[in-house]
Homo-oligomer: A and B are copies of this chain.
Amino acid sequence: MADVRILEIKQSVFADNDRQAEELRRELKEKGVFLLNLMSSPGSGKTTTLMRTIEAIGEKVRIGVMEADIDSDVDARTIAKSGAKVIQLHTGGMCHLDAAMTRQGLEGLETGDVELAILENVGNLVCPAEFDTGACKNAMILSVPEGDDKPLKYPLMFSICDVVLINKIDVLPYFDFDMEKCVKNIHMRNPEAKVIPICAKTGEGIDKWADWLMEQRKIWRG
């Protein structure tokens, strides 16, 4: 298998991350690159969901993926199989990406022909929520085995996400997970959040997620 490119991200020195993020968003708008920031706990299924997303809309928009991890390149190798443009970002131990780090990633990805750039953030429900990456939309995945109470414990993450994908619904019969309660907990944190149950493994619900994503990009392009 071909090697994937690995970029060692430098820790950024900007104190004013919010301004850096706004600046990046403005530049992306000019270039016509829609940036999605995808977050979740470790092992919630970010990479598998991205594979399904590329399958669903990869022929309609040119997709570029940034896989952020502290170490390893297993996720970028997986995405590379889809044929999508991909780069592995190593965060040097950092638990999140900020706007300046995301900018380094986008430069490494070489977004010239990319219409939809997706950042798979570090697996973490706490720190990534605290840093605006400059993305146009924030998405998160909560998987069924993690439990329906997570919005109670990680309020900020749920409050900053435009969409919450509830993944691994194929294993609902084996876990004590109350879908109705979960949606209620999410909306307590964020009444505006769109909630989409999916199964990245089987593809269930991916059409709804892909439709939402394409619609958001359309609205953003104006």
- Whether A154 touches B70, Cβ cut-off 8 Å, given contacts A124-B125, A127-B95, A145-B145, is yes
Q: Is the CB of A126 within 8 A of B43?
A: no
Q: Which of A43-91 contact B (CB under 8 A)?
A: 43, 69-72, 74-75
Give the residue name and chain of the B residue nearest to A189 (CB). Answer: B71
Q: Does A41 contact B (CB under 8 A)?
A: yes
- For the complex formed by this chain, how many copies does it contain in all? 2
Q: Is the CB of A123 within 8 A of B174?
A: no
A175 to B149, CA, bound (A): 22
- Whether A43 touches B147, Cβ cut-off 8 Å, given contacts A70-B154, A70-B155, A153-B74, is yes
- Whether A153 touches B42, Cβ cut-off 8 Å, given contacts A123-B125, A124-B125, A145-B143, is yes
A residues with CB within 8 A of B = 41-43, 69-72, 74-75, 93, 95, 122-127, 130, 143, 145-147, 149-150, 152-156, 168, 170-171, 174-175
